[in-house]
Amino acid sequence: MTNIWKIIQLIPEYRGRIIGLILSSAVLGLGATATPYVFRSIVNTITDLFGQRVDYAAALIAVGWAVGAFAVIRLFTTLFGYWQDHQSDQLWLHSISTLRRRVFETMTGLSLDYYERNRVGDITDRFGNCITVTQWLFQLSEGTLASILQLVFGIIVLLIKAPAVGLVMLLLVPYNLISSYLAVKKTKPLRRRWNGLVGKMSGLLSEMVSQIATVRSFAGERIVQRRYDAVQDEWWDVRRTETGIEQRSAVVVNLINSLAVIGSIGWVAWGALHQSYTVGDILLVFALTQAVITTIVPITRLVNTAGDVDSASERLVELIEVPTTVTDRADATEVEPIRRIEFRNVGFTYPGQTRPALRNLSFTAGEGQTVALVGPSGSGKSTIIKLAMRFYDVSEGEILINGRDIRSYTQNSLRTRIGAVLQDIALFNDSIGDNISFARVGAQRDDVIAASKAAHADNFISRLPEGYDTMVGERGVRLSGGEKQRIAIARAILRDPSLIILDEATSALDTESEKLVQDGLKTLLRGRTALVIAHRLSTIASADKIIVMKDGQIAEEGDHASLLDQQHGLYSRLHGLQTA
Ligand code: ATP
C-alpha cells in the first residue's frame, strides 16, 4: 500500500475532499442498516394483528408509519447517493487531471538516459496507471465506509439478538480478510511480473508502429509477431497461475461463508420453532446475516484489487522516482548568450557502461567560430554534442561556457541559448507553423514566415494547399528529408540562439535540395558559435577548426587545408574515400 500512498501524496490538495467523501458514504450505510428494522416492525405488527394482540386501526397506523419511514429512508438515500456519485465523479476528474499533469511534468524533467534505456510503450503504460490508481481510490471512497458500517452494525445486532449467529459472523470477517490478504500476498510477485509484461507488450507495439517501414522493408512482420506472441504467451501463463490461486482461495472462502450462513439460518429457524424468536426477529436475523455476507465480499474484493492497484502504482512510482542524473545546482545562474565553449580534459562513460565514450578531450570553439567534428562511426561525435547540451554530465574534466563550468548554469537557460538541428529531425504531429514556432514561446506568424524564408523553407510551405497550417503527420512522415531539414533550420533560426549544434543528416539529398539546405545553414551559422558533426567532408571545408575523432579521442586537429596536408592522416584518408 506504500505505493498507493505515494501516489496520493502527489495530489495532497484532494486528500480532504476524498476523506469527506468517505465519511459522507456513512449516511448510505446508516440508511441500509435501518431497513431490516423497518421490515421487522412491519412483520411484527402484522403477526400481532393476526394473533389479535393489537386492533386493526393501531396496526394500520404502525404499518403506515413504518412504510412512511421506509419511503423517507429510500428517497433520502437515493437522492444522497446521486449527489455523492456526482461529487465523486467531479473529484475523480479533478484529481486524475492533476495527477496526470504532475506525472507528465515529472516525466519532461527526467534525464535523457532514462528515455534512451526504456521503451516508449512501457513508459506510456506506466503513465496510464494514473487511471487505475485513482479509479480504485474512488471506488474505495464511494461505498467502503457504508459497507463497513453495515457490517459492524449487523454483527452487533446479531450478537444481541442471536449471539451464536453473531459470533459466527464476527469470526467470518477476519477469516475472509486474512484469506484474501494471503492470496494477494502469494500472487504479488505474479502480478508484478504480469504488469511488467503488459508494459513490454506496449513497448513492442509502439516499437513496431514507429519502425513499421523497417519491419516492412525486411519483410519482418512474422519476426515482430513472434516476439509479441512470446511475451503474450508468458503474460497468459502468469495471469492463469495468478487467477488460479485467487479462484481456489475464493472457492474455499465462499464455501465456508455459505456453510456459516446455512448454519445460522438453521439455528435461528430452530429457535423460532421453539418460540424463542418472533417472526420479525427471524426476518431481521435473516436480513442481517445476508447483509453481513454480501458486504464482506466487496470489502475483501477491495483487498484483492488493492494488490493489483499497488503493483500498478509501483510501476508509476518507479517512473516518478527515477533519479535525475542531471540536476541544477542550488546556486545555478542564467547563462548569457554563449560566445565560447571549451571542453577541458573531458572524459565520459555512459551510465552502466565500463568503456569510456570520450577520453581526455580538449578543444575550444571561440566566438563566431565553427568547429566541425568528423571521424568514423562510434568515435564519440554525438556524445560531444550531448555533453554540450548537458543531456549528461561529464565523468571527468569540465566543459566551460563563456569561461564558467556548464554545471553552474541552469539547464533551461543553457538550452534556450542553443539551436540544435539534429540528424533525426523530430516534428510533432501538428501544423508546420506550430512546429516552427515551438522554438520560441509567443512567436507570431510573421516571425515564423521570416525564419522560414531565411531557411529557404517558405517556398515549399507556401505551395502546400494549407500552407503553414498543413499537418505534418506523426514524426513528419508526410515531408521529404530535405523539407524536414529546412523546417528544422527555420526552427533554429526563429530561436535566434547563440550556439548552434548541428548534426548533419547522412541521407543524401538531390542537388537542388542540398543547395537549399546548405544556404539555409549558412544563414543560421552566420556570426554564431557552432559545433557541427559533418558526415560529408565537402561541407566543412570552410570550418574554422576540424576535430578528427577516433575511439573517443582527438586523432587530428586543424583546418581543412592543413589536415589534407597530412598525407597519411585519418582526415586525408576519409577525404580520399569520399571524393573517390
Ligand atoms: P555516429 O557517427 O555513428 O553517429 P558517433 O561518432 O556519433 O557515431 P557516439 O554516438 O558518440 O558516436 O558513440 C560513441 C560511443 O558511445 C559508441 O561506442 C557508442 O556505442 C556509445 N554510446 C552511444 N550512445 C550510448 C548510450 N546511450 N549508452 C551507451 N553507450 C552509448
- Tens-place pLDDT, residues 337-393: 898 999 999 999 998 889 999 999 999 999 989 999 988 888 999 999 999 999 999
Per-residue model confidence (pLDDT) at position 44: 87
User: Looking at ligand 1, which residue's alpha carbon is closest to its atom 27?
Assistant: 116
Burial of 526 (0-12, 13-18, 19+ CB in 10 A): exposed
Would you say 312 and 129 are in contact if contact means Cβ atoms under 8 Å apart?
yes
Farthest-apart Cα atoms in the chain, separation: 125
Q: Closest Cα to atom 23, ligand 1: which residue?
A: 383
Question: Residue 405 to residues 112, 125, 362, 371, 393: CA-CA distances in angstroms?
Answer: 20, 38, 14, 20, 11
pLDDT reported for residue 538? 63
CA of 378 from ligand 1 middle (Å) equals: 5
Q: What pLDDT is stored for residue 238 in this prediction?
A: 94
pLDDT in tens, 446-461: 889 988 888 888 888 8
- What is the CA(358)–ligand 1 centre distance, in A? 10
Q: Quick one: pLDDT band at residue 562, thresholds 50, 70, 90? A: confident
Whether the CB-CB separation of 487 and 405 falls below 8 Å is answered with no
Helical (H) or strand (E) element with 59: helix 56-108
pLDDT reading at 42 higher than 70:
yes
Q: Rounded to an integer, what is the distance from CA 15 to the centroid of its chain? A: 21
Question: Do 548 and 554 contact (CB within 8 A), yes or no?
Answer: yes
**Threshold 0.85, pTM exceeds:** no
Give residues with Cβ within 8 angstroms of 374, minimum separation 6: 381, 533, 534, 537, 540, 546, 547, 548, 549, 571, 574
Q: What pLDDT, on a 0 to 100 scale, did the predictor assign at position 553?
A: 93
Higher local confidence (pLDDT), 191 or 509: 191
Tell how far the Cα of 381 is from the centroid of ligand 1, in angstroms: 8
The set of protein residues with a Cβ atom below 6 angstroms from ligand 1 is 116, 350, 353, 357, 375, 377-383
* Closest ligand 1 atom number to CA of residue 375: 6
Question: Of the segments 212-216, 349-353, 398-402, which one has the largest average pLDDT value?
Answer: 398-402
Distance 124 CA to ligand 1 centre (A): 26
| Span 224-244, average pLDDT | 93
To test the pocket of ligand 1, the residue of 117, 326, 381, 504 to mutate (highest count of ligand atoms within 8 Å of its CB) is 381
Instruction: Give the best-scoring range by mean pLDDT among 78-87, 237-246, 421-430.
Output: 237-246
The residue ranges of every structural domain in the chain are 2-320, 341-579
Q: Sorting pLDDT into bands at 50, 70 and 90, what band is 235?
A: very high
pLDDT surpassing 70 at residue 135: yes
* pLDDT of 521 strictly over 80: no
Ranges 12-21, 234-243, 336-345: which has the least confidence: 12-21
Which CATH number is 341-579's, of 3.40.50.300, 1.10.10.10, 3.90.1280.10, 1.10.730.10?
Answer: 3.40.50.300
Q: Whose CA is nearest to atom 28 of ligand 1?
A: 350
Q: Give the architecture (CATH level 2) of 2-320.
A: Up-down Bundle (1.20)
**Ligand 1 closest atom vs CA 385:** 11
pLDDT band at 506 (very low <50, low <70, confident <90, very high): low
Q: What pLDDT, on a 0 to 100 scale, did the predictor assign at position 294?
A: 84
pLDDT tens digits, 216-225: 877 888 888 9
**Mean predicted confidence (pLDDT) in 515-519:** 74
What mean pLDDT do residues 31-51 have?
85
Q: How far is the CA of 20 from the centre of ligand 1 (A)?
A: 54
Residue at grid coordinates 513490454: 200
Q: What digits encode the pLDDT tens for the residues 285-312?
A: 888 888 888 888 778 877 778 877 888 8
pLDDT for 524: 77
C-alpha 377 to ligand 1 mean position (Å)? 8
Is 80 exceeded by the pLDDT of residue 502? yes
In this structure, the number of other CB atoms found within 10 A of the CB of residue 188 comes to 16
- Whose Cα sits closest to atom 3 in ligand 1? 377
Task: State the average pLDDT for the chain.
Answer: 85
pLDDT for the residue numbered 475: 55
Tell me how far the alpha carbon of residue 394 lies from the centroid of ligand 1, in angstroms.
15
Closest alpha carbon to 534 in 523, 526, 545? 545
Answer whether 353's CB lies under 8 Å from 411's CB: no
